[in-house]
Amino acid sequence: MTAIGTGYDLSNSVFSPDGRNFQVEYAMKAVENGGTSIGIKCKDGIVLAVEKIINSKLLVPGTNRRIQTIDRHVGVAYSGLLPDGRRLVNIGRDEAQNYKDNYKVPISVPFLVDTIGNYVQNYTCYNSVRPFGIVGIIGGVDDNGPHLYMIEPSGTFWGYTGAATGKGRQTAKSELEKLNYEELTVHEAIKIAAKIIHQAHEDNKDKDYELEITWISKEHTNGRHELVPESLMKEAIKYAQEEDEEDEDEEMES
Amino acid sequence: MEHNPFKWGRPDDAVYGAYNHQIAEAGVNSLFPKMNTQNPIITGTSVIGIKYKDGVILAADNMGSYGSLMRFSNVERLLTIGENTVVGVSGDISDAQQLARYLDSLELQENVYDNDGENQLKAVNVHEYLTKLLYHRRSQMNPLWNALIVGGFDEAGEPFMKSVDLLGVSFSSSTLATGFGAHLAVPLLRQVIPEDKKYVDVTEEQARKVIEDCMRVLFYRDARSMDKYSMVTIKKGQELKFEKDLVVKDQNWRFAQNIRGYGNAQQ
Amino acid sequence: MSRTTVASEYSAEIQSTPIEHRFNPYSDNGGTVLGIAGKDFAVLAGDTRHVTGYNINSRYEPRVFDVGDNIVMTANGFAADGKALIDRFKNQIKWYKFNNGGKKLEMQSAARYIQQLLYGKRFFPYYVSTLIAGLDEEGRGAVYSYDPVGSYEREQCRAGGAAASLIMPFLDNQVNFKNQFIPGTDGKEKRPFEYLSLQEVIELVKDAFNSAAERHIHVGDGLEILIVTKDGVRTEYSPLKRD
């Protein structure tokens, strides 16, 4: 980035002469160093997973949840400045609640993401604020089936079949590209998610991590965003590590 | 034709006086008094409930009355919140629907957001919340015009049932009923549970039967009731059973023929 | 123009009297309570019947509570206000401890604080007769009683609630020996005051409540007596007439 010293990177809401908002780009930097988050859209639901970096051995295992719920049918995984993510989730919750108060039915995922996108965009327009330092992967199941979106500090959001962000995003993306999303089921995706996070962790190897996976599926969770049950989780971790060993074996042979 | 009703004009000012715009802006910065609920509009009649050894049974019919007009006949007045708590609501239906929204939002905040599945709301918690809410509203002189019965389990997992009304007055008993039910159903329920603590001797079958009997008596004698009703059975270690569109059984209207002005009996 | 106003949209309402509020924020939930202070103990008793009008809502709804710090409390009359007052006071005891290094709230301080709570709602009062009982700093039994807006006084004994007027004269006679004279003095010499034992007091309370239950329809079902001594608070329950 060549903005340093030009002054165009010091304030939000100011374009550089070549049409960039450097504060937004710096916000992306905050994301690129965070733990990896991924989302997978399957034919029967959504799977979200994060690589939870263990900053201290004193943290209680299995607590300090990272993936949050916006409404019963919508979950979010995000990488970057975690408090910014929590703020974003609160905005989403207010919006979802307000929608339900007004229209009785749960908010549709595209509409929710659109609202959040507008909100995030607003934080790129004023010099009194800074953009959100996160990329959020928002997944949900509504009347139109599963939806998966990824939203960036600029307020941009795109729909995805497989989404990844954070430090290990490149590794994760190349793995996600191999999947057949037409046929993929949530059960398969849970294992794959575990494996991808495991592989993506290679990019962040100096720190320990804990795996967190949630899912949303009409058939299996009654359309609710829930933590994946322990049995499936064990199976997934086992699968991720088996694959790992195989890879190593292959490497040894070759 | 002009489709905007506001352009149809209003009754003659000479007859009725000019429209006072402060009425519409009543409340803040207005000389006209703010108007709060002074009476219920669409109402639901009694809710009844009984504790038994393994849980609680609640029932309420599906009528929504507009004064003496039977306006709606498919109103659901039993609200579930969480896994095993049910709130039966009588009184104003619009306020009941507002309560339903409050309860849904409570469930979302306490059971869904950032919750690992532990610390689920219990009936005691829901009851305390509603009591605080209704008392707060009565203290604002803007009541939610309802009487409620909350059924479920307490912190120790034992059957729990407690009521609260529009004033924020709450009380618990093994047999509870709101409205007409307090007169007609409670005596029948207390025949099954004479002493409050003795609910542990009552079986689900006994409890269910007396609730059915009460719903029949209420249908006979409460003019604002109907014979279609819902019933929930909340039982330890089981998913709650929600039965809808039940019909009052064993109706016998032979007594009616002897009532002067109703049946064949003449002056 | 008529003085009564309805919320009509078509007249000059603004000049008329305010709209009549049909909503009455108060009700009476019956029940009666009684506190007696002894030499080194105090009791606070209440029946367990909860009513509205002629309906018995519950035959067992406790109305006397242990609020902590060896103090027992009741607020009898409009039950929702009673609950609100007691909940608020319990919460204040908690905060008193947070703010004062866990210091015990003494009876006289508790008594004054409750006055503040009651008077704070002087113009929308808690419709209750409030009593607290406990031990003072010298370990003697203490009972404080209040009117709905916080006027208070320490007394030897006090009855409150539905049957207060039935019980109070009985207490005057049996606890403070009012209108009692030493035999043989021809009504000249008053019987001097002396403390009753705990056993005597409990019997007195039971007699008072049995009599009140006999005559007053809002009293009955059960009697709960909370006894405060230096060893803490204990509860005794006995049945009352249920008719």
State in Å, rounded, how far the first CA of chain A is from the last one. Answer: 40
Distance CA C152, CA C131 (A): 9
Each residue of C192-214: pLDDT tens digit?
999 999 999 999 999 999 999 99
Chain B environment of A71 (Cβ under 8 Å): 108, 112
Would an 8 Å CB–CB cutoff place A86 in contact with chain B? no
**Closest chain A C-alpha to B112 CA, distance in angstroms:** 7
Question: Which residues of chain B are at the A interface, by a Cβ-Cβ cutoff of 8 Å?
Answer: 101, 104-105, 108, 112-114, 116-117
pLDDT at B128: 98
| Percent of chain B predicted with pLDDT > 70 | 91
Residue of B nearest to A62 (CA): B116
Q: Each residue's pLDDT tens digit in chain A (254 positions)?
A: 567 777 778 888 789 888 999 999 999 999 998 999 999 999 999 999 999 999 899 998 888 889 999 999 999 999 999 999 999 999 999 999 999 999 999 999 999 999 999 999 999 999 999 999 999 999 999 999 999 999 999 999 999 999 999 999 999 999 999 999 999 999 999 999 999 999 999 877 888 999 999 999 999 999 999 999 999 999 999 999 886 666 555 555 54
Residue of A nearest to B111 (CA): A72
Would an 8 Å CB–CB cutoff place B178 in contact with chain C? no
Each residue of B133-164: pLDDT tens digit?
999 999 999 999 999 999 999 999 999 999 99
- Mean per-residue pLDDT of chain C: 93
Distance CA A246, CA A239 (A): 11
Helix or strand run (H / E) with residue A75: strand A74-80
Q: What tokens were used for B221? A: 């004698």
Chain C environment of B39 (Cβ under 8 Å): 22
Each residue of B60-108: pLDDT tens digit?
999 999 999 999 999 999 999 999 999 999 999 999 999 999 999 999 9
Between CA A149 and CA A200, with CA A132 as vertex, the angle to 5 degrees is 55
What residues pair up with A229 in beta bridges, in sequence order? none
Task: Measure Cα distances from C57 to B13, B183, B196, C221 in Å.
Answer: 52, 10, 12, 11
Instruction: Measure the CA dihedral A191/A192/A193/A195, to 10°.
Output: 90
Nearest to B113 among A63, A93, A227 (CB): A93
Please answer yes or no on whether A69 and B112 come within 8 Å at the CB atom. Answer: yes
Whether the predicted pLDDT of B267 surpasses 60: no
CA of residue A173 relative to chain centroid, distance? 12
Whether the predicted pLDDT of C5 surpasses 50: no
Question: How many C-beta atoms surround the C-beta of residue A140 within 10 A?
Answer: 30
Distance CA B254, CA B250 (A): 12
Distance CA A78, CA A70 (A): 13
Residue of A nearest to B105 (CA): A97
Please answer yes or no on whether B170 and C52 come within 8 Å at the CB atom. Answer: no
Question: How many C-beta atoms surround the C-beta of residue C99 within 10 A?
Answer: 9
Whether the predicted pLDDT of C107 surpasses 90: yes
Q: What tokens were used for C168? A: 């109070």
Would an 8 Å CB–CB cutoff place A69 in contact with chain B? yes
Please give the average per-residue pLDDT across C99-114, as a whole number: 96
Please give the average per-residue pLDDT across B45-54, as a whole number: 98
Whether the predicted pLDDT of C19 surpasses 70: no
Reported confidence tier of residue C10, pLDDT bands at 50, 70, 90: very low
> Measuring CA to CA, which residue among A230, A213, A228, A190 is closest to residue A51?
A213
Cβ partners under 8 Å of residue C220, min gap 6: C47, C49, C213, C240, C241, C242, C243
Please answer yes or no on whether B114 and A65 come within 8 Å at the CB atom. Answer: yes
Task: Measure Cα distances from C94 to A150, C69, C105, C131 in Å.
Answer: 47, 10, 10, 20
Please answer yes or no on whether A69 and B116 come within 8 Å at the CB atom. Answer: no
Nearest to B11 among C10, C78, C124 (CB): C10
Chain C environment of B20 (Cβ under 8 Å): 9, 11-14
Helix or strand run (H / E) with residue B138: helix B123-139
**Closest chain B C-alpha to A101 CA, distance in angstroms:** 7
Task: Measure Cα distances from A244 to A52, A234, B136, B226, C97 in Å.
Answer: 19, 15, 60, 66, 57
Q: Give residue B156's identity as a one-letter amino acid code.
A: A
Question: How many C-beta atoms surround the C-beta of residue C71 within 10 A?
Answer: 27
**Closest chain C C-alpha to B254 CA, distance in angstroms:** 31
pLDDT at B266: 65
**Closest chain B C-alpha to A145 CA, distance in angstroms:** 21
Q: What is the pTM of this model?
A: 0.84
pLDDT at C65: 98
Would an 8 Å CB–CB cutoff place B230 in contact with chain C? no
Chain C environment of B31 (Cβ under 8 Å): 14
Distance CA B125, CA A50 (A): 34
CATH number of B42-248: 3.60.20.10
Q: Which of C5, C13, C90 to mutate to test the interface with B (most CBs of B within 10 A)?
A: C13
Residue of B nearest to C29 (CA): B169
> Measuring CA to CA, which residue among B187, A201, B24 is closest to residue C242?
B187
Chain B environment of C13 (Cβ under 8 Å): 20, 23, 32
Reported confidence tier of residue B254, pLDDT bands at 50, 70, 90: confident
Distance CA C31, CA B171 (A): 13
Chain C environment of B22 (Cβ under 8 Å): 14
Distance CA C107, CA C50 (A): 28
Chain C environment of B16 (Cβ under 8 Å): 10-11
Whether the predicted pLDDT of B168 surpasses 60: yes
Which residues 51-90 of C have a C-beta within 8 angstroms of B? 52, 55, 57-61, 78-80, 83-84
What residues pair up with C46 in beta bridges, in sequence order? C33, C224
Question: How many C-beta atoms surround the C-beta of residue A102 within 10 A?
Answer: 9
**Closest chain B C-alpha to C14 CA, distance in angstroms:** 6
Chain B environment of A72 (Cβ under 8 Å): 108, 112
pLDDT at B2: 78
pLDDT at A254: 46
> Measuring CA to CA, which residue among B81, B60, B52 is closest to residue B161?
B52
Question: How many C-beta atoms surround the C-beta of residue C33 within 10 A?
Answer: 30
Between CA A153 and CA A162, with CA A158 as vertex, the angle to 5 degrees is 105
**H helix runs in A104-229, sequence order:** 109-122, 169-176, 186-200, 218-221
Q: Tokens 């896994």 correspond to what residue?
A: B83
Q: Are B57 and B207 in contact (CB under 8 A)?
A: yes
Least reliable range by pLDDT among B73-82, B249-258, C109-118, C224-233:
B249-258
Would an 8 Å CB–CB cutoff place A221 in contact with chain B? no
**Closest chain B C-alpha to C161 CA, distance in angstroms:** 16
Each residue of A174-220: pLDDT tens digit?
999 999 999 999 999 999 999 999 999 987 788 899 999 999 999 99
Chain A environment of B119 (Cβ under 8 Å): none
Distance CA C40, CA B264 (A): 75
Q: What tokens were used for C241? A: 């007439």
Please give the average per-residue pLDDT across B241-246, as a whole number: 98
Nearest to C58 among B16, B35, B171 (CB): B171
Would an 8 Å CB–CB cutoff place B140 in contact with chain C? no
Least reliable range by pLDDT among A14-23, A56-65, B3-12, C173-182:
B3-12
Helix-, strand-, coil-residue percentages of chain A, each rounded to 5 = 40, 25, 35
**Closest chain B C-alpha to A69 CA, distance in angstroms:** 6
Nearest to A68 among B114, B116, B117 (CB): B114
Q: What single DSSP character describes residue B111?
A: I
Q: Domain residue spans in chain B?
A: 1-35, 42-248
Question: How many C-beta atoms surround the C-beta of residue B53 within 10 A?
Answer: 16
Q: Are B242 and B230 in contact (CB under 8 A)?
A: yes
Would an 8 Å CB–CB cutoff place B259 in contact with chain C? no
Question: How many C-beta atoms surround the C-beta of residue A103 within 10 A?
Answer: 9
Neighbours of chain A (3+ CB pairs under 8 A): B
Nearest to B172 among C7, C29, C61 (CB): C61
Question: Are chains B and A in contact at 3+ CB pairs closer than 8 Å?
Answer: yes
Q: Are C193 and C11 in contact (CB under 8 A)?
A: no
pLDDT at C16: 54
Q: Are B179 and B185 in contact (CB under 8 A)?
A: no
Residue of B nearest to A65 (CA): B114
Q: Are A190 and A215 in contact (CB under 8 A)?
A: yes
Please answer yes or no on whether C79 and B38 come within 8 Å at the CB atom. Answer: no
Each residue of C69-98: pLDDT tens digit?
999 999 999 999 999 999 999 999 999 999
pLDDT at B212: 98
The alpha-carbon radius of gyration of chain B (Å, integer) is: 22
Q: Tokens 């009117």 correspond to what residue?
A: C147
| Exposure of A161 in the CB half-sphere (CA atoms within 13 A) | 14
Residue of B nearest to C28 (CA): B169
Distance CA C124, CA C107 (A): 26
Whether the predicted pLDDT of C18 surpasses 50: yes
Chain C environment of B182 (Cβ under 8 Å): 55, 57
Please answer yes or no on whether B20 and C12 come within 8 Å at the CB atom. Answer: yes
**Closest chain A C-alpha to B35 CA, distance in angstroms:** 23
Please answer yes or no on whether B141 and C21 come within 8 Å at the CB atom. Answer: yes
What residues pair up with A150 in beta bridges, in sequence order? A137, A158
Residue C205 backbone dihedrals phi, psi, to 5 degrees: -60, -45
Distance CA C113, CA A85 (A): 45
Q: What single DSSP character describes residue B6?
A: G
Please answer yes or no on whether A72 and B113 come within 8 Å at the CB atom. Answer: no
Q: Which is more confident, C150 or C11? A: C150
Q: Give residue C123's identity as a one-letter amino acid code.
A: F
**Closest chain A C-alpha to B183 CA, distance in angstroms:** 36
| Residue positions of B annotated with a catalytic role | 37
